[in-house]
Amino acid sequence: MAKKYTLDELLIISAAREINDGDCVILGVGLPTTAGAVAKALFAPNATLMMESGIIDFEPLVPPNHIADANACRGFSYATDLFSMFTMTYRGFVDVCFLGVAQIDKFGNINTTVIGDYDHPDMRLPGSGGAPEFLSYAKRTVLTMRGGEFVETLDYLTSPGFLDGGDSREKSGLFPKGSGPSMLLTTQGVFRFDETTKEMYLAQLHPGITVEMVRNNIPWDLKVADSVLITPAPSDQEIDFIRRFAPTESVGRKLMYELGIINTLKKAAERVKA
């Protein structure tokens, strides 16, 4: 009988499966780094893992405390700086990046700056960091949302998804062809983006979640795939690796830290209800 698993473990494995062997991947603290460690150890040994701070081709030892935590690595090929990491993205050397979300609209535009009016906010968020550069220029961007909300209109546009949908991103002339968000991973399921309209649609449900449960959290008429998949359960090998690499208490704490969006969902939900 397969081992029981937690929601955190399901999300980590779902993110890890977005990493292909040979990918160059920029990882953030929390879920992304644990997902990267799983992928490199179990099915993508030739993936090149990178931290935003400039630590390149590292071997994860334990979950890092910050984006420059070299003590969390068994070793790395070389170290550079933030400027070089950003220009590496501009030049097309990054295949996949992971970004956390506080607010997201139907076209994958995201807000990690402020909830409410910019000058008189309900909450200040950590801001952009490298998110605009990564979402603009990485070949694929995996978005993760544990807290946060779906909205018709962002309170602030921090990082560009598919702008107004359709070919608006390409027509802007600002981004490489084919770039943009490829997936949104939430606690309820997985969302993808239509190839033509670029509108988000529900592609996959986590076990025990229904389409109606997802629709209840989305303020627009959500598109749903003709055949919605159920997220595969993690294998025993994957579960064992996660529990060795990042014991449950540590993983949970770091996942909640992701982008500093602790308690954002509660406060945003209160504002929406009001």
The angle at the Cα of 140, spanning 135 to 141, to the nearest 5 degrees, equals 50
Q: Which residues lie closer than 8 Å to 136 by C-beta, 6 or more apart?
A: 89, 159, 160, 174, 175, 179
- Tell me the residue length of the chain: 274
| Residue 190 CB-density burial (10 A; 0-12 exposed, 13-18 middle, 19+ buried) | buried
3-state SS, residue 77: strand
Q: Among 9, 18, 52, 238, which one carries the catalytic annotation?
A: 52
According to the 3-state scheme, what is the secondary structure of 212-246?
HHHHCCCCCCCEEEEEEEECCCCCHHHHHHHHHHC
What torsion do the CA atoms of 269, 255, 207, 202 make, to the nearest 10 degrees? 60
Distance CA 216, CA 146 (A): 16
Catalytic site includes residue 9: no
**265 residue type, one letter:** L
Helices vs. strands in the chain: H and E counts, helices first? 9, 15
Q: Catalogue the active-site residues.
A: 52
